């Protein structure tokens, strides 16, 4: 279980660092799609960074994707090496994804987006938007992910068991 929690923590830290680093470098449309609707509307004309900065942003997003996939693959192979069966692998993936999701909701959505004012500094034209105070702006998407995660985890565990 410690391996699972440490791997999930690494995934969370990398995700946070990538979000904080990529947000000022990426196209506004990429960053804004994760924010409340009124904020997206207020910042729709925000100037794009240079192509060089956008390339850096996409490279960092690629690194995050590799870390995330690498974490899942590591946990799968480590589980197989330690004799885990289908249900134990499924539980391992569920624990990992729910730790990452909890981090996403508490740290990224509630603290970084709603409390810290980080994105308001990137998009100063949105300072007066009511969306910065709507703490449930992303509830529907989060709920959909929370409900589908166990099925994704069972599918992933099944794939690992097939290729054992």
Cα–Cα–Cα angle for 105, 109, 113, rounded to 5 degrees: 165
Average pLDDT, the chain: 91
Angle, helix 2-22 to helix 86-103, in steps of 10 degrees: 40
pLDDT at 44 over 80: yes
Once rounded to an integer, what is the mean pLDDT over residues 40-58?
A: 90
Single pTM value for the model: 0.85
- Lowest mean pLDDT: which of 52-66, 87-101, 117-131? 117-131
Residue (of 46, 25, 44) closest to 33 by Cα position: 44
């Amino acid at each position: 279980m410690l391996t699972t929690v440490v791997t999930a923590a690494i995934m969370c830290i990398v995700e946070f660092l990538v979000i904080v680093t990529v947000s000022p470098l990426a196209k506004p449309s990429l960053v804004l799609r994760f924010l409340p609707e009124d904020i997206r509307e207020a910042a729709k004309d925000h100037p794009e960074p240079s192509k060089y900065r956008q390339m850096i942003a996409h490279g960092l997003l690629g690194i995050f994707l590799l870390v995330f996939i690498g974490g899942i693959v590591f946990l799968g192979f480590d589980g197989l090496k330690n004799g885990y069966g289908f249900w134990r692998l499924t539980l391992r993936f569920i624990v990992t994804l729910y730790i990452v999701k909890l981090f996403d909701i508490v740290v990224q959505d509630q603290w970084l987006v709603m409390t810290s004012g980080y994105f308001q500094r990137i998009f100063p034209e949105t300072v007066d938007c009511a969306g910065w105070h709507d703490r449930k702006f992303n509830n529907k998407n989060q709920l959909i992910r929370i409900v589908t995660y166990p099925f994704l985890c069972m599918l992933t565990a099944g794939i690992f068991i097939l290729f054992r």
